[in-house]
Copies of this chain bind each other. A is one copy, B any other.
Amino acid sequence: MADHRSVPEPTLRRLPCYIHVLKKVEQLGRQSVSTSDISRELKLDPTQVRKDLSYTGIVGKPRVGYPLKDLIEAIEHFLGWDECTHACLVGVGHLGKALLGYNRFGEYGVRIVAAFDVDEAVVGARISDHIVYHIDALPEIAQRFNIEMGILTTPASAARGASQNMVEAGIKAIWNFAPTALELGADIIVENAQLYATLAVLSRQMRGRVQAQPKPSPLRITPGAEQMGPEP
């Protein structure tokens, strides 16, 4: 199973897709799934799914598959999504408001406990049940609420400064939605939401298709679907 430092990143990116599929299957009332089921849904190779799942430590039964409930739990535990991480959001613009309004981060182990901005027009406001504080209050509030993660949704021009503020407030992990490189110490974990990466692939395919299909198609892998539904 699953030594921490040997999990391929592509695997990590696919795991959320599996969770989404599995939850859908769960709603159909089924008790188990096979990798064939999953791979059919996501158009992946079954053995790849099997290998990915093996990292979580789950064990399946030949001819049957995996116990559905256990499998979901195994993946969520593997990703740490069964535990709650306190997060703050910095940058209450359009995207920030959207994320504040998205009230299902709990499923992903994240709970936004505070929001920050510098704009007096939003500071003090209540956005989808979250109070917006001035960025100057970050250190105190981060400590008070034990905030471990920062969600960075400022414009690019403010991103570096805001990330600096986060680090000074003791935050160790940043989910960066700004299209900007952050310059931070090596002990800070930064992950880029990379919105435009997928647009680039799409754009490129639109003109002149990237990978032509005239081939024993190496099962084109667009690391499947996952992400958030914007709320009903």
Contact = CB atoms under 8 A, between A and B. Distances in A.
Interface stretch (A63-71, A131-139, A221-229): A221-229
A193 interface: yes
A121 B229 CA distance: 19
A219 B232 contact: no
A97 interface: yes
Question: How many of these chains are in the complex?
Answer: 2
Interface in A115-142: 117, 119, 128
Interface in A153-208: 153-160, 172-173, 175-184, 186, 189-208
B199 A191 contact: yes
A157 B154 CA distance: 30
A189 B222 CA distance: 11
B204 A79 contact: yes
B231 A93 contact: yes
A204 to B, nearest CB: 5
A189 B67 CA distance: 33
Nearest to A227: B195
A108 B12 CA distance: 28
